[in-house]
Amino acid sequence: MVAGKSESTLRCYCSHLAKLALHFRQVPTEIDSDQINDYLYLVKQEHNTPSDSYFKFTVYGLRFAYRSEGLKDKRIELPEIKRGKKLPIVLSREEVKRLLNAPKLLKHKLLLGLLYGCGLRCAEVRGIKLSHIDLERKQLLVYQGKGRKDRYVPLCDMLVRGISSYIEAEKPQTWLFNAADREIAGRAGGDFDSRYSQRGVQWAVKQAAKAGGISKEMTVHTLRHTYATHLLEEGLDIMTIKDLLGHACIDTTMVYLHVAQSGRVKPFSPLERLYPAK
């Protein structure tokens, strides 16, 4: 990681900065503010999507470049990116069961089990080494997660049994989840990454959701949202959940208070009182 940014984030920034540099045939940090504003306007016109992701990552890439070069004044001149206040999508407990039962491969079952059972990010589940797993103490070390922070998360008995069975069957060497041979062969260079790919993890989640008949919009991060929400609903305090998720700020964790069905009185619809079940 560089300045707390993941490899995939840095690749995204570099891609957008390279397009900017090719457009003006200049190093991005040397382009004047008027040209930057014209370019951002052009991006808005050509990539007008609901999420504005192309525009946002162009701005984020420029901010990162300016910060790296100590160009504070140029950073201030960039437009502010307002984050949407969307609540996370969360699965019900029954949907989680269907999802976990869907995969045919033990590898995919364990992968999904760790994403939900430990609240891991995609990069974190890919980065699990055998040395990070303590089956006796039932703990998993999440090594250098977002923000380059380590944390421990508990492993339940089901995950301990699943990991033991998987290691015995697959005999992984360094990483818990290795890439398929054909995937490794397709990667360029001798210093290849033998971990299961990000695309592979995303594919496994999408396929399980499809096979499990889950109609909600599913991503790898949905399982992390579901983990946090279900813990909150089971009575775990918000500060402990913050630490388990590896959040730097409690405000990030507080969003789950708006999703969880917990409290002294469980939320209900007034229609239930008008037409009570017989």
Task: Please identify every residue annotated as catalytic.
Answer: 121, 146, 221, 224, 247, 256
Strand order in the sheet with 139-145: 133-134, 139-145, 149-154
Residue (of 183, 178, 151) closest to 166 by Cα position: 178
Q: In terms of Cα–Cα distance, which of 200, 195, 110, 107 is closest to 161?
A: 110
- Pair 80, 52: CB distance under 8 Å: no
* Contact by Cβ (8 Å): 215, 89: no
Closest CA to 257 of 10, 66, 87, 106: 87
**CA 203 vs CA 129, 138, 193, 210: distances in Å:** 21, 28, 18, 11
Pull the structure tokens for residue 253: 């964790």
Helix (H, G, I), strand (E, B) or coil at 47: coil
3-class secondary structure, 133 = strand
Q: Label residue 265 left, alpha or beta by phi (over 0 means left) and psi (-120 to 50 means alpha).
A: beta
Element (H, E) at 118: helix 106-118
Instruction: Give, in degrees to the nearest 5, the angle at Cα 136 between 131 and 139.
Output: 60
